[in-house]
Amino acid sequence: MVSVFLSHSSKDKPFVRELAAFLRQDPPMEVWLDEGEILPGQNIVDKICQGLDSNFIILILSPDSVDSHWVQEEWTDAFWEQTNNQQTKLLPVLYLDCTIPRLLRDKYYIDLRNNQLDSFAKIKTFLLTQHAVTPKHINQLPTRPPLFIGREPELAELRRRLSEKGTLVHIAEMAGKGKTALAKEFAHRYETDFEAVYWLPCESDNLVAIAGDLERQIGLSLGTDLDSLLRDLKHYCSQKRCLLILDNVESEDPAKLIPGGAASVLVTMRRCDLRFLRLYPPLDLSFFTEDECFALFREALGAESVNGNETQCRQLFNRLGYLPIAVSVAAALIKEDVRYTVESLAANLPVDVTELIHDAIQALDEAPRHLLTAMAACAPEGFALSLAAEIAGFNETEALNSLQQSVARSLAGEVSRADRRYRLHALVREAANGKPLAPQHFDTVHKRFANWETNWRQCVQDLPDFQLAFTWALSNFDGLAKDFPLGELAYYGCRLTDRVGRPADAFEICERMALLFKERNDDAKLQPWLNNQALILRGWGRLDEALALHKKDEEICLALNDQDGLQTCYGNQAIILQIWGWPDEALDLLKKQEEICLALGNQDGLERNYGNRALILQSRGRPDEALAFSRNRKGSASPSATNIACRSATTTGRPSSTIWGGSTKPWPFSKNKKRSASLSATSQTLATAIGAGGSSNAA
């Protein structure tokens, strides 16, 4: 267990108790806090020295702590230990505005002034990634292959090569040779060789989604931009004896996740020309031998049935090219369908493996065949049976009954029985051809994500299907009806991913929507997505980039005479200026915002404006002026109309234009820590700010 010493001033005790309670939650840390460790009569100095032997010292920076002699003694000891050992020991945490000690000014620290809850999570994540102790982990592997034959030499070679720390092994073979099945069998058979095994489907070719999946499996909530997310994930995995399995890689992007260090990596792929693998010798995966084909047939059909037809079996194996997927489907077809026998199938051999799979699909009853087509329309990484059932128009009982035929014929594979998630082999997806059902797939995903607030756990699992539907709609945008709800789906996806601590996913959605409208010179629909990107960038501390986007937003609003968007843009720019320490410039922008809000009769905007100005004036030592603005605020004790509008938007699917990119929270910095923490959560700001980029049109 990671041990932590909290170095702080006694005047900050209420806040420090909150932090200690958070760090003790699962995954728990051992937190040293003086009031729980030093009993009456004990030697205080000795007990504190014991606490300073913890893995980490968290220094709570505040006006009181930087002036405390005791605190200075504690953190300087940890500082020099860190310097001498070149290992992270001291983590400064900025709790309240203060003068940071000179020795720490160029050191990494976590800023708690803006968003306490998210920053608490960042503290825990930082400590876990710096320390070779992991959160409680349960391997989330897909279901083990139910019928796995042979491959013992390949399994032994994989185990030998992957036993070396920092190694990478890849299997680059044609579809149907059993790459994924071999990886699954290895992961299940030898998972105890590793501290953890992370299985990452890479069919989507979306690095943000793949990284987010790894983040979720590890149990961290990094909540950073993609580059930082990749860096932290690689650092975390490199400290562990873990196995990373990248299944069905189709591009160079997943190479950015390869950690090195103590981790090992297994890559499966059909391509053999990826540059990042050119220095690694592949594992050769041969076709089935004749003995392995017979072993599979005997296991599936029984020895008596096979032994009496050995000649016909050999003819069948030879015609199928000894391809594992083809042999498996042929065996299942013979076993499950009375119209097929070894003799009849050998006498009427299919042209190739694709034709065999097509024949196997056509041999299904009508309902199972229709369900399989709906499954082929879902995400290749894996999907919920309930989603495919809804596309097919089946209830749960009908779907389960229909599914049985496909599973029995080796046409559908199980990812998780508990979650009822399945996947199709690439050749089965191709033969089943779910492309004509892409519009129904989009409609089903859109309907699910409209209820993401009450069904968010299921929606997180359905994110691969969200990406599939979203990408399809972007690719076909020009041919869609004007009222097609692409903007609504993007809005739901942004809200969900931001709220579950995956802002990189939210940013990518905004970026793709912005690119869509930029290419079409549609500034009216581009503007809110630029603003949403800026809000996320601000949350990441990338203020220069955020301000640049707000400036573009301002230009568009001026050109379109969008006064409401303009006042919001001024408010968001003012926040950045205040963070930079330019309060006069911030107040000038807020004055412009006030004038627009007065002209529009925008009471909600005025309320936010006056609250923000009051906080700036208070921070500058002008309490009388601050009090005057505070008195001008209306409804400050109740939820703002903007928040109400946002909640309404999530149920109606029509986000109000008044909340697009809106700065719905007062200033996120104040010397009153409790006040600022309650007003400034980045995820809440984004949640109430993201708009659909259009109301009743194709945005």
- Rounded Cα distance between 13 and 286, Å, is 65
Write down the pLDDT at residue 3.
Answer: 84
Q: Which amino acid is at 213?
A: D
Q: Is the pLDDT of residue 656 over 70?
A: no
Based on the domain organization, do 243 and 322 belong to the same domain? Answer: no
Q: Is the peptide bond between 40 and the residue preceding it cis, with omega within 30 degrees of 0?
A: no
Q: Is the pLDDT of residue 427 over 90?
A: no
Q: Is 53 exposed, middle or buried (0-12, 13-18, 19+ CB in 10 A)?
A: exposed
Q: Return the half-sphere exposure (C-beta side, CA atoms, 13 A cut-off) of residue 644.
A: 6
- Rounded Cα distance between 493 and 469, Å, is 11
Q: Is the pLDDT of residue 47 over 70?
A: no
**Closest of 245, 144, 268 to residue 199, by C-alpha:** 245
What pLDDT band is residue 417 in, cutting at 50, 70 and 90? confident
- Rounded Cα distance between 684 and 666, Å, is 12
CATH of the domain at 76: 3.40.50.10140
Mean pLDDT of the 171-196 span? 90
CATH of the domain at 224: 3.40.50.300
Based on the domain organization, do 322 and 381 belong to the same domain? Answer: no
- Note down the domain range covering 59: 3-130
Q: What is the pLDDT of residues 469-490, one digit of tens each?
A: 999 999 999 999 989 999 999 9
Based on the domain organization, do 428 and 317 belong to the same domain? Answer: no
Based on the domain organization, do 610 and 574 belong to the same domain? Answer: yes
Write down the pLDDT at residue 34.
Answer: 65
Write down the pLDDT at residue 448.
Answer: 95
Tell me the H-state helices in 40-177: 44-51, 63-66, 69-85, 116-130, 152-162
Q: Is the pLDDT of residue 117 over 60?
A: yes
Write down the pLDDT at residue 243.
Answer: 95
Mean pLDDT of the 344-365 span? 82
Among 277, 312, 335, which residue terminates a domain?
277
Based on the domain organization, do 677 and 559 belong to the same domain? Answer: yes
Mean pLDDT of the 652-657 span? 28
What pLDDT band is residue 33 in, cutting at 50, 70 and 90? confident
Mean pLDDT of the 191-215 span? 91
Q: What is the pLDDT of residues 368-378, one digit of tens each?
A: 999 999 999 99
- Rounded Cα distance between 471 and 315, Å, is 44
Q: Is residue 463 part of a domain?
A: no
Q: What is the pLDDT of residues 661-689, one digit of tens each?
A: 333 322 222 223 222 222 223 333 343 34
Write down the pLDDT at residue 154.
Answer: 92
**Strand, coil or helix: 201:** strand
Mean pLDDT of the 34-63 span? 64
Tell me how many domains the chain contains.
Answer: 5
% residues pLDDT > 90 (the chain): 41
**Strand, coil or helix: 5:** strand
Query: To the nearest 5 percent, what fractions of the chain are helix, strand and coil?
Result: 60, 10, 35
Q: What is the pLDDT of residues 577-601, one digit of tens each?
A: 988 889 999 999 999 999 999 999 9
DSSP state of 204: T
Q: Which position has the higher pLDDT, 133 or 187?
A: 187
Q: Is the pLDDT of residue 640 over 80?
A: no
Residues composing the chain = 699
Q: Is residue 440 part of a domain?
A: no
Q: Is the pLDDT of residue 642 over 70?
A: no
Based on the domain organization, do 38 and 167 belong to the same domain? Answer: no
Write down the pLDDT at residue 84.
Answer: 59
- Rounded Cα distance between 277 and 169, Å, is 9
**Six-digit token string for 391:** 């596309």
Angle between helices 682-689 and 486-499 (to 10 degrees): 170
Q: Is residue 144 part of a domain?
A: no
DSSP state of 255: G
Based on the domain organization, do 537 and 668 belong to the same domain? Answer: yes
CB neighbours of 219 closer than 8 A, spacing ≥ 6? 27, 135, 136, 137
Among 401, 433, 465, which residue terminates a domain?
433
Based on the domain organization, do 156 and 121 belong to the same domain? Answer: no
Q: What are phi and psi of 383, to 5 degrees?
A: -150, 160
The DSSP line for 282-329 is PPP-PPPPHHHHHHHHHHHH-HHHHHTTHHHHHHHHHHTTT-HHHHHH
Based on the domain organization, do 219 and 346 belong to the same domain? Answer: no
Write down the pLDDT at residue 693.
Answer: 40
**Strand, coil or helix: 154:** helix
The residue assigned the tokens 């840390």 is: 29
Q: Are 444 and 390 in contact (CB under 8 A)?
A: yes
Based on the domain organization, do 480 and 625 belong to the same domain? Answer: yes
Q: Is residue 694 part of a domain?
A: no
CATH of the domain at 525: 1.25.40.10
Mean pLDDT of the 294-308 span? 89
pTM, rounded to two decimals: 0.72
C-alpha distance from residue 268 to each of 199, 206, 254, 282 (Å): 11, 16, 12, 10
Based on the domain organization, do 566 and 682 belong to the same domain? Answer: yes
**Closest of 403, 344, 335, 414 to residue 371, by C-alpha:** 403
- Compute, in degrees rounded to 10, the torsion defined by CA atoms 577, 580, 585, 586: 40
Q: Is residue 403 part of a domain?
A: yes
Write down the pLDDT at residue 626.
Answer: 82
**Six-digit token string for 538:** 């601000």
Q: What is the mean pLDDT of the chain?
A: 81
Lowest mean pLDDT among 108-112, 188-192, 400-404, 521-525: 108-112
Mean pLDDT of the 523-548 span? 92
Based on the domain organization, do 650 and 540 belong to the same domain? Answer: yes
Q: Is residue 370 part of a domain?
A: yes
Mean pLDDT of the 397-411 span? 91
Q: Which position has the higher pLDDT, 53 or 211?
A: 211
Q: What is the pLDDT of residues 313-336, one digit of tens each?
A: 988 888 888 888 888 988 988 888
Q: What is the pLDDT of residues 121-152, one digit of tens each?
A: 788 878 877 765 444 455 778 888 888 888 89
What pLDDT band is residue 256 in, cutting at 50, 70 and 90? very high
Angle at 59 between CA 53 and CA 65, to 5 degrees: 120
What pLDDT band is residue 638 in, cutting at 50, 70 and 90? very low
Q: Is residue 188 part of a domain?
A: yes
Q: Which position has the higher pLDDT, 438 or 76?
A: 438
- Rounded Cα distance between 393 and 14, Å, is 55
CATH of the domain at 398: 1.10.10.10
Q: Is the pLDDT of residue 45 over 60?
A: no
Q: Is residue 453 part of a domain?
A: no
Write down the pLDDT at residue 383.
Answer: 94
The residue assigned the tokens 């949350």 is: 539
- Rounded Cα distance between 440 and 555, Å, is 39
Q: Is the pLDDT of residue 561 over 90?
A: yes
Write down the pLDDT at residue 678.
Answer: 25
Q: Is the pLDDT of residue 350 over 80?
A: no
C-alpha distance from residue 330 to each of 119, 287, 300, 406 (Å): 56, 16, 10, 13
Among 223, 254, 277, which residue terminates a domain?
277
